Structure 1
Amino acid sequence: MSHESIRIGVDLGGTKIEAIALDLSGEILARRRVATPAHDYGEIVRSIVALVHDLELETDRRGTVGVGGPGSISTHTGLVKGSNTTVVNGKPLVADLSRALQRPVRVENDANCFALSEAVDGAGRGARVVFGVILGTGVGGGVVIDGKTHAGRNRIAGEWGHTPLPWMTPQEYPGRRCFCGHDGCIETFLSGPALAHDYFVRTGEAVKGLDIVARADEGEEAALATFDAYQDRLSRALAMLIDILDPDVIALGGGVSNIARIYEGLTARVARHAFTDALDTKILRNVHGDSGGVRGAAWLWRDEAQ
């Protein structure tokens, strides 16, 4: 096996486990994916190990290994917490993978991995502080400072989806109940399901996001109003984020980020709420799409192989 190093990233998702091998410049050398054995922790570990070995055989190189997924590693126990692949919660994933692969393994939240991918060679390339936003089934985020993920003391940095929507209108207050137990979380207003719910409230029709986009493109009043409300709420939420972190770049990811309509005039709307005379923060669509998380997992070892 060649002594030339590669970086291997693994994205542990609810339905699939994807792994890629990057060379030191970020070029994808190989990619593999398997279905997630979501109810068998031991099989999840074995699947990740097998993917790593397959990539090393295919590239004839040994690699560092980074893993991204929902949840985080508890600073108190070293065990996984908060993952929606619930079988891994309370398990020593880092220790088990490191032992099985006979090398250190880094495990990080998937939103942090997305943010790192965009900071290294995506929408936030060259920026010192990047916030990666996930607008998907849920709403999450990750912080990257000077090319490194910032997880925070409690490993919850970037969890803006579980803060209240700022400057709520009387019609919005108190908001719907979030799975976290609070009312009015940003996630309940800005997730993909929240977009569909808002349209349902306006029309009584259960319509998927892409169909709402199509109706807006055709000029349907309810669809246009749904997107106007969504963009207004997004602008308030991003303004609050800017007031706290003041990042150089905000990179939007997740399924909702693929809707071009949400970017139209967004920066100007954010500027009206942010506590600044002129807004310099760039708000950009992601570059790497669905590969952001797995690429970011590979980049978790970037500081070791310059």
Structure 2
Amino acid sequence: MLRIGIDLGGSKIELVALEASGRVLLRRRRPTPQGDYQATLRAIGEMVAAAESDLGRKASVGIGIPGAESLGDGRIKNANSTCLIGQTLRLDLEALLQREVRLANDANCFALSEAVDGAGQGAEVVFGVILGTGVGGGVVVHRRVLAGANRIAGEWGHNPLPLPDEEGLPPAPCYCGRSGCVETWLSGPGLSSDHWRHGGQSLSAEEIANSAEASDAACAAALGRYERRLAKALAQVVNVLDPDVVVLGGGLSNIARLYDTVPRLWAAHVFSDTIRTRLLRNVHGDSSGVRGAAWLWNEE
């Protein structure tokens, strides 16, 4: 079965065509039309048509988006590509492409990609984590996305950080309207803000990590606080979901020391005398989202 996956991002649309083994047959990218929903639909239609023409076969189509479908009316909500909000994207694409289209949140697509043929391959339960400009998560059970009754399975980024009193700081407001969400502590901007509050220096998350490796005391302390918070937040996931594997993605997943430090720290908060959950770096990197969109048509 030929599978096409599309990652519909705010700045680019990426398409990949996978054969049944997961081998990439074709990859294409083009800029996302800014603020123009109809042009976005046309761009996707043109990309699918060109890919199928080049490969000489019709394909299934799965799409990852930075948002979700409303259970109430099927319209897109919570999308940072604001022209998608309120639109019946899946139905419109099905009419355009003349076939069923499967749609999922981009964090779910990341988790699915890593569960099928990435870091979590062979695991029964995989929790995929995006640590970047925001914080997202997705759950995959037996190689299938767990969407949940409210289609919010994996949305740990908008839970409050556990044990906030020990942080000694007032919780930051989150764009969702709440305060103290995991995202406000563990996103890249969250790490930068924490470093600023403690040291008065404005650095990106990457700069903080690099300076910590170079023995900068203030940056090392900031990264230590980040690791402690990440361990507490993931321990709550382990206690509820008990996954075989937690896979990290996003820019902060490139911080190598997380994979040693965080499992040592989460032991204090996991309700078990033995912890077999593994914390792993992603295999497919920036390609995980688009590969996962293709794997939404996963027959096994």
**AA aligned opposite 1:9:** G
Displacement of 1:74: 1.3
Give 1:293's aligned amino acid.
G
Find the counterpart in structure 1 of residue 117 from structure 2.
Answer: 121
1:173, CA displacement in angstroms?
5.0
Pair 1:276-2:233 in alignment: no
Which residue does the alignment assign to 2:74?
A: 78
Q: Is structure 2 residue 130 aligned with structure 1 residue 108?
A: no
Alignment of 1:31 with 2:27, yes or no, is yes
Secondary structure in 2 matching 1:34: strand
Residue matched to 2:2: 6
- 8 A contact 1:235–1:269 mirrored in 2: yes
Distance 1:282 1:227 in 2: 21
Residue 20 (structure 1) aligned with residue 45 (structure 2): no
1:99 and 2:95 aligned: yes
SS for the counterpart of 2:122 is coil
The runs of 5 or more residues in structure 2 that have no matched partner are none
Alignment pair present for 1:257 and 2:247: no
Matching residue's letter, 2:265:
R
Map 1:193-272 to 2 at 5 A: 193-272=189-268
| Conserved 8 A contact 1:10-1:19 | yes
SS in 2 for 1:166: coil
Change (3 A) 1:172 1:112: farther
Number of residue pairs aligned between Structure 1 and Structure 2: 300
Contact 1:227 1:262 (8 Å CA) reproduced: no
- What percent identity do the matched residue pairs reach? 52
**1:162 aligns to 2:158 (yes or no):** yes
Instruction: Quote how far apart the aligned CAs of 1:219 are.
Output: 0.6
SS of 2:268's equivalent? helix
When normalised by structure 1's length, the TM-score is: 0.96
Structure 1, unpaired ranges of 5+: none
Superposed displacement of residue 168, structure 1: 1.7
Q: Distance in 2 between matches of 1:271 and 1:301?
A: 36
Q: Give the counterpart letter for 1:57 in structure 2.
A: S
Runs of 4+ in 1 over 4 A off after TM superposition: none
8 Å contact from structure 1 (residues 11, 69) kept in 2? yes
Output the aligned Cα RMSD.
Answer: 1.1
CA contact (8 A) 1:196 1:207 kept: yes
Partners in 1 of 2:283 and 2:122 — Cα distance?
14
- Structure 1: how far apart are the matches of 2:289 and 2:10? 13
Deviation of residue 153 (structure 1)? 1.0
d(CA) in 2 for partners of 1:280, 1:269 = 14
